[in-house]
Copies of this chain bind each other. A is one copy, B any other.
Amino acid sequence: MIREIPPRSGTAFVLGKGEILRVIDPEGGQVSDLIACRQGDPCEMLSNGRTFDYEETIRLTAGNRLWSNRSHPLLEIIEDSVGTHDFLLTPCSEATFRHFYADKPVHRGCFGNLAAALAPFGVEPDAIPVAFNIFMNVPVDAQGRIRVEKPGTVAGDHIRLRALDDLVIGLTACSAYDSCGGSFKPIHYAIEDRIP
C-alpha cells in the first residue's frame, strides 16, 4: 500500500527488522528527510558522522549503510534510482526559515514535523540529528562550499532501504523553498514485506 505524506508535513512509524521502506517522489523535485532510531531505545539514533566514518564517503547510495551513534548499522540502501542525497544539513526549522527566508512566513519545517511525529516514540527535539535528506541536491565544491539546488528527480524516482534492526522512522515531505526548488509537493512511501 502506498501512503502519502502531504506537502510540508511528516510522519513516524515502526519499521521491523528486515522490512523495506520505499520512498517515492511522486511528482519529481521534492525532498524527504529521514530519521531512524532504535525502537524502544530512541537514544540510539542515526548519525551522519558515524556513517561517514564507516562508509568512507559523504555520498550514500545503493550498497551503503546508514549507521547509529552507537556504531550499529540501522538501514541499508538496496535500490536507488537517483543517487543524489544529502547527509550534511539539518532539517529546516523555524530558525532556518527566519535565517534564509526573512521575507516569507515562518514554518516549523521538517524539524518541527519530525519532533511532533517522533514525540510519541520518546525522541526529544534536541536529539533530532542531521537527517538523511533523500533526493536533496547539495553539491560541495572543491573549497568545501555548499549550495542547495533543486532536486534532479523526476516523477516516480525512488529509493529502497532495508531495516537492519527494529526501528522507528521519521519521514517528511520537505517544507523549505530551496531544497524543493520553490514548490511544496507530497512524498509517497510504502513498507514492503521482509525478504523471504
Contact = CB atoms under 8 A, between A and B. Distances in A.
Contact of A143 (B47, B48, B49, B57): B57
How many copies, total?
2
Contacts of A119: none
A69 interface: yes
A76 to B, nearest CB: 17
A93 interface: yes
B89 A44 contact: no
Contacts of A99: 53-54, 71
Interface stretch (A1-9, A121-129, A153-161, A182-190): A121-129
B53 A144 contact: no
A100 to B, nearest CB: 8
B59 A144 contact: yes
Given A49-B48, A52-B146, A95-B71, A88 B126 contact: no
Contacts of A173: none
A106 interface: no
15 contacts: A49-B90, A49-B129, A50-B90, A52-B88, A53-B89, A53-B90, A53-B96, A56-B145, A57-B146, A69-B90, A70-B95, A71-B99, A140-B140, A140-B144, A142-B142
Given A49-B89, A49-B130, A56-B145, 5 more contacts: A48-B130, A54-B99, A58-B140, A59-B143, A140-B144
Interface of A: 43-45, 47-50, 52-54, 56-59, 69-71, 88-90, 93, 95-96, 99, 124, 126-130, 140, 142-147
